[in-house]
């Protein structure tokens, strides 16, 4: 799934990007609030992880402008501001979740996955279609009771298709949602991943 991380700490950017990519997420990173707003408005993300204390434009202002523009992308605030009033303000301005720094990466990951499920109106992380059973929370796939090992990118592609089952999904949609950046990956990469899943 595709995520935008708006965080000004280079160290945290790199750590989160590596960890989330290992889990199959495509992560675009912006370290400035103005750039973050521009990308959040221009592209369709499954989740935005947003710091509050940003150069250029504070995180709460970014969030307000995003919601005023009608963007419904789920937003997880990730901030060192830990007062109850800060959390309430963030949620009242349209954030879907709030996690205080320092945090455990596994908790962040669980919250992000919950927001992705919420986006596609799927409370149950287990999806069953015929003989295939997929646990989106644990990144596990079974076919006829036999576990199938998929790479993070293969699992992301399968998860993306499951979330949109019954609808046509173009190669461009897959490229946009499964890879960070734009225009850097060719459609042949998608063909290879689809072939491996089959």
Tens of pLDDT, residue by residue over 109-167, are 999 999 988 877 766 778 888 888 888 878 889 998 899 888 888 888 888 888 788 88
Crossing angle of helices 59-68/33-42, nearest 10°? 20
The structural domains of the chain, with segments of one domain joined by +, span 2-119, 126-197
3-class SS letters over the chain: CEEEEECCCHHHHHHHHHHHHHCCCEEEEECCHHHHHHHHHHCCCCEEEECCCCCCCCHHHHHHHHHHCCCCCEEEEEECCCCHHHHHHHHHCCCCEEEECCCCHHHHHHHHHHHHHHHCCCCCCEEEECCEEEECCCCEEEECCEEECCCHHHHHHHHHHHHCCCCCCCHHHHHHHHCCCCCCCCHHHHHHHHHHHC
Q: Provide the CA 62 distance to its chain's centre, in angstroms.
A: 18
Is the pTM value of this prediction over 0.75? Answer: no
Does residue 174 surpass a pLDDT of 70? yes
Q: What was the pLDDT predicted at 27?
A: 95
| Ordered strands of the 97-100 beta sheet | 26-30, 2-6, 47-50, 74-79, 97-100
Domains 2-119 and 126-197 alike in fold: no
**Architecture of the structural domain at 2-119:** 3-Layer(aba) Sandwich (3.40)
- With 0-12 / 13-18 / 19 or more C-beta atoms within 10 angstroms meaning exposed / middle / buried, residue 44 is exposed
The CATH architecture assigned to 126-197 reads Orthogonal Bundle (1.10)
Taking only the tens place, the pLDDT of each residue in 10-49 is 999 999 999 999 988 999 999 999 999 999 999 989 999 9
């Amino acid at each position: 799934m595709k995520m935008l991380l708006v965080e000004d700490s280079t160290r945290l950017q790199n750590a989160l990007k590596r960890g989330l990519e290992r889990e199959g997420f495509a992560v675009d990173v912006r370290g400035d609030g103005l750039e973050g707003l521009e990308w959040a408005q221009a592209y369709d993300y499954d989740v935005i992880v947003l710091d509050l204390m940003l150069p250029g434009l504070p995180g709460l202002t970014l969030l307000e402008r995003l919601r005023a523009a009608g963007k419904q992308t789920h937003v997880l605030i990730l901030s060192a501001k830990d007062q109850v009033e800060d959390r309430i303000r963030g949620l009242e301005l349209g954030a879907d979740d709030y996690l205080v720094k320092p945090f455990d990466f596994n908790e962040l990951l669980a919250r992000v996955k919950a927001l992705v499920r919420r986006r596609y109106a799927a409370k149950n992380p287990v999806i069953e279609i015929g003989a295939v059973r997929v646990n989106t929370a644990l990144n596990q796939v079974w076919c006829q009771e036999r576990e199938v090992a998929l790479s993070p990118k293969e699992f992301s592609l399968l998860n993306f298709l499951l979330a949109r089952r019954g609808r046509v999904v173009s190669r461009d949609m897959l490229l946009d949602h499964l890879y960070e950046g734009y225009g850097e990956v060719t459609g042949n990469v998608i063909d290879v991943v689809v072939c491996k899943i089959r």
